[in-house]
Amino acid sequence: MKEKFSVLDLLRFSLALYLTLFHSIHQYPQSRDVPLIELAGMGGFVTSTFFILSGFILAHVYFRDSESMRGSTRTFFVKRLSNLYVIHFIGLVLFFAVALVSTHAFTSFPLMTLDDGPEQMVALAPATATLNVVLNVLLLQVWNPLYGSINPSSWSLAVLLFFYLTFPFAAPRLLAVRNKRALLCLLWGLYLGPPVLASVLHWYEPVAVGTILRNPVLRLPEFFGGIVLYGMYRESMLVAIASTSGRRIIALGFVACCFVAGAWAIAHGPEYSRYLVHNGAMLPSELVLVALCTSVKVPANCERFASRLGNSALSIFAIHAPIFMLMIKATKLLSMGISPLECAKHFAACAAASRDVVPGMGSLPLYLIATAVAAVYFQEYLVAPLRDCVRRKLLSDRHAKAEPGAASA
């Protein structure tokens, strides 16, 4: 019987929902007065853990009972890329549809920065803007480090694309390494190197920030770390972490302390701490968190529900930004006391007036719940059918069936 990691499904879902909060709560000026608001600033921790999870789950799906990868490389690429691109394209269409009824210009792109302040938007020439749009559509935008993504969270999908391309070639070699603890230490050192160098040399301009934070090659240690961690799990090397309740408490305390320390450093520490916390410093705690979750089981009657939530994680990444844009606009309209019909008739004046409206935070919990529910149905009734259709076109029916547990890896 295939082993299920239902708690990892719940972790994936929780990470995606936290990222939704991370991207939304700071859009409210009054959020600065929320107690412990610093704890909502660890988006880098979430994304890094998600990348580790992707490596771990893929290794489990394709190497759980063999030293060679289950299935062909072509089948792997079709299955992984079909899931990734279908989610990305639908999310991008939603984002463009929402942007059409906003004041956002398609030739404006955000510059990469370490600051928490408003995005620095720059207007590009038509040719340059078109190139960046094409890169975004193809999920190649992370190779241009100067500008952020059109759909903000899609940069992580672009990084996952590169990870998937490396998996069939790197995974068997990583899993075959005997001293996996030493390999994890090596990966940690390689991961920390670029942000340390950038900090020492004071590289804080947009190109440096975009390269350090989002370059897929520099983020590979996270994905590879997840693969190595699965190899350690397969060899029963993670048992000691959660062998007793005391050790579980210590491991959980370590993760919590690192998370709180990282949040404090981002909010109150020097500028270079943002590089270190985002890239590398948190890697040991992220690995421990994943390892700890492998020791926890959920009741059998909850496994299906946990799987549904976990499979919706990438969909949350794709759709939460356009949903938030719609909610903010609706909140502003309600606070202005202008009907949607009246606003449609005088769109320019309504849009100009809404710029000065400060939205209230009362709708934030509803937004998080609505996004989570929408993502589950978005995944099951739109993404999955389209993904399976693409797979049937490119693969035989027998090979087009999705592997359980891998849908959002």
3-state helix/strand/coil string of the chain: CCCCCHHHHHHHHHHHHHHHHHHHHCCCHHHHHCCCHHHHCCHHHHHHHHHHHHHHHHHHHHHCCCCCCCCCHHHHHHHHHHHHHHHHHHHHHHHHHHHHCCCCCCCEEEECCCCCCCCCEEECCHHHHHHHHHHHHCCCHHHCCCECCCCCCHHHHHHHHHHHHHHHHHHHHHHHCCCHHHHHHHHHHHHHHHHHHHHHCCCCCHHHHHHHHHCHHHHHHHHHHHHHHHHHHHCCCCHHHHCCHHHHHHHHHHHHHHHHHHHHHHHHCCCHHHHHHHCCCCHHHHHHHHHHHCCCCCCHHHHHHHHHHHHCHHHHHHHHHHHHHHHHHHHHHHHHCCCHHHHHHCHHHHHHHHCCCCCCHHHHHHHHHHHHHHHHHHHHHHHHHHHHHHHHHHCCHHHHCCCCCCCCC
- Considering only CA atoms, give the Rg of the chain: 21
**Is residue 407 domain-resident?**
no
Question: For residue 409, is it within any domain?
Answer: no
Would you state the pLDDT for residue 405? 46
pLDDT score at 101: 65
| Token duo for residue 1 | 């019987």
Q: What are phi and psi of 54, to 5 degrees?
A: -60, -45
Residue 300, token pair as written in the block: 């059998």
Is residue 121 within 8 A of residue 108, CB to CB? The reply is yes
Domain membership of residue 61 as a residue range: 6-400
Other CB atoms within 10 Å distance of the CB of residue 407: 25
In this prediction, residue 402 carries a pLDDT of: 47
How far is it, in rounded angstroms, from Cα 210 to Cα 191? Answer: 15
Report pLDDT for 306: 93
Is residue 406 one of the residues assigned to a domain? Answer: no
| Per-block mean pLDDT, blocks of 10 residues, the chain (409 long) | 81 94 86 88 94 96 87 93 93 82 71 76 87 93 91 91 97 95 96 96 94 96 97 92 90 96 94 92 96 90 92 89 82 70 68 70 88 93 93 74 49
Q: Which are the contacts of 301, defined by CB distance < 8 A and separation ≥ 6?
A: none
pTM (two decimals)? 0.91
Which residues, at least 6 apart from 343, have a Cβ–Cβ distance to it below 8 Å? 333, 350
How many structural domains compose the chain?
1
Residue 13 maps to a domain: yes
Kindly report the length of the chain: 409
Work out the angle at residue 41's Cα, subtended by the Cα atoms of residues 37 and 44, and round it to the nearest 5 degrees.
Answer: 165
Dihedral of the CA atoms 230, 234, 238, 243 (nearest 10)? Answer: 140
Q: Token digits for 77?
A: 């690429």
408 within domain boundaries:
no
Asked if residue 228 is part of any domain, the answer here is yes
In a domain, 370, yes or no: yes
**pLDDT for res 1:** 46
